[in-house]
A and B are shown apart, each in its own frame.
Chain A
Amino acid sequence: EVQLVESGGGLVQPGGSLRLSCAASGFTFSSYWMSWVRQAPGKGLEWVANIKEDGSEKYYVDSVKGRFIISRDNAKNSMYLQMISLRAEDTAVYYCARVGDTESNFDYWGQGTLVTVSS
């Protein structure tokens, strides 16, 4: 059974930093692209970043470029999102998602971790 478990969310002040983690199990982690998708309170889904199977390619939504870094450790079956210079508009539930075989959709999702940016 595919499982994705996020951790690392919490309350942080504007301008602060946070590192999210996603622990994967139930599939060959190193064979899949992985992604972070977020959802602000009461709002829709927003793709944040993707990383290729071996970490050699990374893509980001424009609003987080230069502030967020996606990474992975295939030996630990884990993915990360390092977030710096956080803003109030980054407040959201952050979901870890597996990118499907066609590399265009998200076929499994974690339960999410809440990041709140507030003073």
Chain B
Amino acid sequence: SYVLTQPPSVSVAPRQTARITCGGNNIGSKSVHWYQQKPGQAPVLVVYDDSDRPSGIPERFSGSNSGNTATLTISRVEAGDEADYYCQVWDSSYDHWVFGGGTKLTVL
């Protein structure tokens, strides 16, 4: 089945830009979705279909997807952005929905 690979952790200083990658075989041909999960809370969809934002999600969150890597970019990082972030795709070959292993974003 399809495998998504994320770095376990990313650290960034406040007001800087954080980039979280999600690797997969020809992932650029799939729609990638990103979720934010804070401790003790349910996940929240922050980017869908590679680069669209649900209503209520700040413009600081953006996404891109090409080749074998998708990227979630968080601009002007705030302390409140500290969370786990997961990428996700639908694997049409098996009708399975797949998550990456997650990346813990630490704001220094």
Q: Nearest chain-A residue to B41 (Cβ)? A: A111
Contact B96 A47 (CB under 8 A): yes
Given contacts A100-B48, A105-B88, contact A46 B99 (CB under 8 A): yes
Residues on A with C-beta less than 8 A from B35 are: 45, 106
Task: Name the residue among A47, A103, A105, A110 with the largest chain B CB count within 10 angstroms.
Answer: A105
Residues on A with C-beta less than 8 A from B23 are: none
Counting CB contacts under 8 A, is B89 at the interface? yes
Interface residues on A, range: 20 to 34
Q: Which of B45, B95, B96 contacts A106 (CB 8 A)?
A: B45
Q: Nearest chain-A residue to B31 (Cβ)? A: A104
Q: Which of B49, B86, B89 contacts A45 (CB 8 A)?
A: B86
Contact A59 B48 (CB under 8 A): no
Contact B97 A102 (CB under 8 A): no
List 5 A-B pairs, minimum CB-CB distance, nearest first: A104-B90, A105-B33, A47-B97, A109-B42, A44-B102
Taking beta carbons and an 8 Å cutoff, which residues of A are in contact with B? 35, 37, 44-47, 50, 59, 61-62, 95, 100, 102-112
